[in-house]
Structure 1
Amino acid sequence: MQVRISHAFKSKLVDVEVAAAAVRPPQRDAALPEGQAAVRVRFNRIRGLPSCDAGTDGSPTDALTIGFSGLVRAFSVDEPSAKPTATREATGWGASIDALVPIIPVKSVENRGNALTFTGSFVHGRGIADQTRTQAGATFPPLPGYTPNVDNGLVTYDATGTLRTIDWRTFVVTLQYYLPPTGRLFVATNYTQAQSSNVASLTDPSQATRVYKLARYFDANVFFDVTPALRVGVSYHFTHQRFVDDATARNHRWMLSAYYFF
């Protein structure tokens, strides 16, 4: 069950969209729904390409866009006991700012040459691992016979038995450039980072080697549209993680790809 309400105020130059919702909370059998709200502003005459697929699969260009969104949620978790008789509460929240900025606007889907587009997202919040994909391996402290009534990675108990949210700050930035004259050859790069300010202090020492507190990802891509339906590309990917015990893990990967749109 959910309730949503939204409205778009449109004009030739600027569109403003507002929305609010009461949606399914992250915790099963929660007493309260999760509250969400957002506002998005689009400047219609400044156009960019929203993704690498734009132009080849018929995706349209998109306007210069800035968005703000947020959520608030309540947690009520069984106390840390093999036979809990009470619950303990915590409040989670998250805020995000997102933007699509055509640094060099695109002329049209067919004429993409010299178009340069930036997209970015910055998120900060508490108890929002499901929204940012940063469960990170975090779990509740080991306690024989105890099964928490909430998914791992959102909240946990500290050493004093107080329910704490696991906090995260994440961001994603992307650049895409379509080489002149036609844009059939283009390059794209992405960088993401996720960091928690408190997951280390909330992690049991026995789990320190399995829970990360910092993650970074980077890729660089070159694509070429052989035909309007066939795209080939080569990509480099790098992943870095730092765990609670300060050990690090790195991964390097190359990928050749081909896409057929029909």
Structure 2
Amino acid sequence: MSGPVPLLSYDDPRLVPGRVALFLDFDGTLAEITERPDAVRVDAETRAMLARLERATGGALAIVTGRAIGDIDGFLAPLRLAVAGVHGLERRTADGARLGAAIDEAAAARVRASLEAAAAEMPGTLVEAKPGSLALHYRQAPERAEAAIAAAHAAVEGLEGVHVLNGKMVVEVKLGSATKADAVAQFMDEPPFAGRLPVVCGDDVTDEDAFREAAARGGVTVKIGPGETVAGLRAAGPAELRRWLVALADSFEPEKAETA
């Protein structure tokens, strides 16, 4: 079985502004992964490219991420896009409506206390609290991966309705069952996404479910970086994806591209 096709060699006549629905992961996809999650920066060129795509597609562009919606708004300001945050546990639709799953706050407090106690014993790790989720990052101490994962599983012992997700240099405890695939499916049932071709771009194992959802709808899937994947296309890294997205925006605005 052949692997993903290089993204920059891909040409698809279906990629026209009135037919495409774009779903983009954030860390490792639009933005480079940094040692600390709060150290991420999005340059003005990337924000301008996203604004062009959002405008050209009539709002059919969503960020689908493990980040909280508020974090994404901070990184992309003044842009305010449709977002599925915390792997689908919270969502803002294209028309601005906020939706979220009910969370067991007592369970969340227990998990947080357990993870923070574990992090205190593992220099280089840190706990990030998000709506409905606790993430234990080990970007600054990759040698602690096994211990961090064990700590997350210990934190959820005896709890029901919680899920442990392994990501890039992070292990996350999610207090709900929503996935990125659920988020893509929900957006695709709503305007302006409904009836369009889903294009999903992501770099992490948590994006694989979203790739499968898009593929089931005949869509386009792009894996960012190395690793096994079900995606049909691959970009070497965020810079290559951004280059492709700029070219896509140019194709959506041919008059603007010609005068640039």
Shorter-chain TM-score range: under 0.3
Greater C-alpha Rg: 1
Query: Scaled by the length of structure 1, what TM-score is found?
Result: 0.21
Query: Scaled by the length of structure 2, what TM-score is found?
Result: 0.21
**Higher relative contact order, structure no. (Cα contacts within 8 Å, ≥ 6 residues apart):** 2
